[in-house]
Chains A and B, each alone.
Chain A
C-alpha cells in the first residue's frame, strides 16, 4: 500500500510553545488529508479535513486558531499546535486519501506523533 509519513514521531515541548507536525504522502498525491487526535486509552477523533489549496474544515468543537492546518502541496499537510498546553498532550495521527480508479478512495494512515507538553 501507499506510504504516509509523519514527522516528528515524538515531541516534548514546554507550555506556551508552538509545535508543527508534518504529514507527507510519500508515493502518491493526496488532495485530501485528515488529522485525528487520540487520548490515552481512547478512540480516534477526527479533528479536521485538510484540502490542498484551500482552508481546512474543522470538526465541531475543534479550535481552528489553536490547531492550524496548512495543506500547501499535494504531498504535505502540516498541523501546528499553537501555544501548546498540557491538555494538548495527545497522539496525533494523519491520513491521506488516494483517489484511484473506482468507487472507493483508499485512506492511508501515518504512524502518528506523540506530543507531550510539560
Chain B
C-alpha cells in the first residue's frame, strides 16, 4: 500500500538556522512521483517541487534543497538560513504511475515555526 510518513509533527527554529523536514514513503510501483507542498496560514497549497522515481539527482532552488534517496525511500527537504516567512505547514506527497492518475497521497504534514 502507498503511504507517506512525515514523522516530525512540529519543528521550531530560530531565524537563519537550517532545518530539514523528513519524508519517508512506501510504494510498490517502480514509477511514481514525489512532491513537496507548502501550506501557509491562508490555506492555499503552494507547489514546491516534483520528482519522478527515475531521477535521483538532488535539487537546489535558492534556499531550498531536496535529497531523494530511493535506497531509503526518503525525500527530505532542507531550508537553509530559514526566515520567518518560511513558517507554514509542509506536506510531502506521493503519486503513483505510470498511468499517473494524479491521485495524491499526502503525509501528515510538518508544521514549521521560524522565530525571529
Tell me the A residues contacting B by CB distance below 8 Å.
1, 32, 34, 41-46, 49, 91, 93, 95, 97, 103-105, 107, 109, 111-112, 114
Tell me the B residues contacting A by CB distance below 8 Å.
33, 42-45, 47, 50, 52, 91, 95, 97-98, 100-109, 111
Minimum CB–CB distance from A21 to chain B (whole Å) comes to 14
Asked whether A43 lies within 8 Å of B91 as measured between CB atoms, the reply is yes
Number of residue pairs A-B, CB distance < 8 angstroms: 52
Interface of A is mostly: strand
- 13 interchain pairs (CB within 8 A)? A1-B47, A46-B103, A46-B104, A49-B103, A93-B43, A104-B100, A105-B100, A107-B95, A107-B102, A109-B47, A111-B44, A112-B44, A114-B43
**A residues near B50, Cβ cutoff 8 Å:** 104
Q: How far is the CA of A32 from the CA of B95 in the complex (A)?
A: 15
**B residues near A112, Cβ cutoff 8 Å:** 43-45
**B residues near A111, Cβ cutoff 8 Å:** 42-44
Q: How far is the CA of A1 from the CA of B50 in the complex (A)?
A: 14
Asked whether B102 lies within 8 Å of A44 as measured between CB atoms, the reply is no
Among A34, A43, A49, A111, max chain B CB count under 10 A is at A43
Asked whether B43 lies within 8 Å of A105 as measured between CB atoms, the reply is no
Among B33, B102, B103, B111, max chain A CB count under 10 A is at B102
Residue from B33, B101, B107 in contact with A43 in the complex, judged by beta carbons closer than 8 Å: B107
Among A34, A44, A109, max chain B CB count under 10 A is at A44
Using A34-B103, A44-B106, A93-B43 as known contacts, list a sample of 14 further A-B pairs with CB atoms less than 8 Å apart, ordered by residue number in A: A1-B47, A42-B109, A43-B106, A43-B107, A44-B91, A95-B104, A97-B102, A104-B50, A104-B52, A104-B100, A109-B44, A111-B42, A112-B44, A112-B45
